[in-house]
Structures are given as C-alpha cells and as structure tokens.
Amino acid sequence: MQGMRSLLSHSQRHPSAVLLAVQLLGVLIYPFAENTAEGHVALNIFGLLVLAFTTNMVRSTRGWTWLSVLLASSIVVLLTLQMTRGMSHLLPWSSALEAVFYFYAAGSLIIYMMSDYNATVDELFAAAATFTLIVWGFTHLFVMTQALQPHAFVEASSGAGPRTWSELNHLSFALLTSTGMGNVVAVSPPARALASIEMMTGLMYLAAVVTRLIGFTAHPEKGREHHDK
C-alpha cells in the first residue's frame, strides 16, 4: 500500500517521467505482439493507456486539456470501431488524429520547458518524453501514409512492404536522431517528404530545446541571471 502511494506521488510530481516510461515500454513490447490478432488488440488497448497518460501529462502544462480529451476520445471511438467492427478503412483517420494528438502534447511540453530559465528534474524528463512524443507522432503519420499507399515504405534489402508499426517506429527514431534510415526506406514522394520533415524537426528540437536545457543544467547561474532580468 505504501509503495502504491509512493508511485502515485511520484507520478503526480513527475508526470513526464511516467509518460516516458510507458512509451519506452511500448517500444519493447510492440515487436512481440503485433503479428497476431490478439496481440494487435492488446496493443490497441496499450495505445489507449498511452493516450490516458499523455492526457494527464497535458493537464500539468499550459496546454488545453479539453482539446487533448476531445482528440483522445475521438481516437478511442475510431480504434474501438476498428477492433470490434473490423472497420480497417478508418485506420488513416485514426492514425492522423493520433499524430495530431501526439504533436499537440509535444508542443504543450515544449511550451512548459521554455516557460522559465530553470532546468528542473521534471523538465529534463519532459525533454525525453517530448522526443518520444514526436517520434510517435511521425510514426502515426507513416502508418497513415502506408494505409493510403501500401508500398510507401519498403525493406531496404528485399523491397518488400508494407511494414509493421514497430518497423515504422524504428524508422521514426532513426530519422529524428539523424542516425540513418535503418532497414526501412521511404520510397513514395509523400513518404520521403515526411521523412525529410522529421529529420529537420529532430535537428531543430536538439538545437532549440535540448541545448537550452543542457546549458541551464550545466550553468544554473545563467538561469538565475535571466530570471533576475
């Protein structure tokens, strides 16, 4: 009981850390569950859990909670229809809404981190959580693109497509960190355009947000000087 209270207290003080942990857990479990019908349903349920944690995180920022709740509710409805009614044609719509939801959450966290000149522990967690939110947002854009163009993304060695969610998520990580394309390649013009935008987004995020936080962490006196001004 005491341990549960401690966990709840920690989640309230550092919601960004909880969101980051949940998203990284998703990275680990998705490859093992996405190839079966039961696993696909379980992953959709897990995705709803991520939406809940993300909505809770937005509440701790200056973001509009009502907008995140509206987006999350719409996504839940579309995912439920896909799981229970087999309405797979709704995938592009749900993926597009999920991309908007994660980008909005990432924007809310960026505003939260840029609102002062101090680098708190929660803001450092928020920097990592924002990164994964952007990765998730582009992953869902890739899923949407692939749903509309089944061979928009192919395996580099064989040219086979379409690719799984975890493969597109890995591609998104590789593009945002500018470490390469991995084993999946964007081949259609819309897919390549999204890949290019994600690479530029990653560079801008590191230069504008992460570098700023690192600077105030290494030299906290600069943050106090800005605050005094």
Per-residue confidence of the chain (229 residues) as pLDDT tens digits?
A: 444 344 444 555 667 788 888 888 888 888 887 777 666 667 777 777 777 777 777 766 666 777 888 888 888 898 888 888 888 899 999 999 999 989 988 888 888 877 766 767 777 888 888 899 999 999 999 999 999 999 999 988 777 778 989 999 999 999 998 877 678 899 999 999 999 999 999 999 888 887 777 776 665 555 445 544 5
pLDDT at residue 51, rounded to an integer? 75
How many domains does the chain contain in total? 1
The answer for residues whose C-beta is within 8 angstroms of residue 110's C-beta and 6 or more apart is: 130, 209
Give the whole-angstrom CA distance, residue 129 versus residue 109: 8
Give the whole-angstrom CA distance, residue 224 versus residue 229: 9
Domain encompassing residue 141: 2-228
Residue 59's identity, in one-letter code, is R
Give the whole-angstrom CA distance, residue 90 versus residue 144: 10
pLDDT at residue 217, rounded to an integer? 67
154: helix, strand or coil: strand
Give the whole-angstrom CA distance, residue 219 versus residue 15: 25
pLDDT at residue 221, rounded to an integer? 53
Residue environment code for 206-215, b if the CB has 16+ CB neighbours within 10 A, otherwise e: beebbebbee
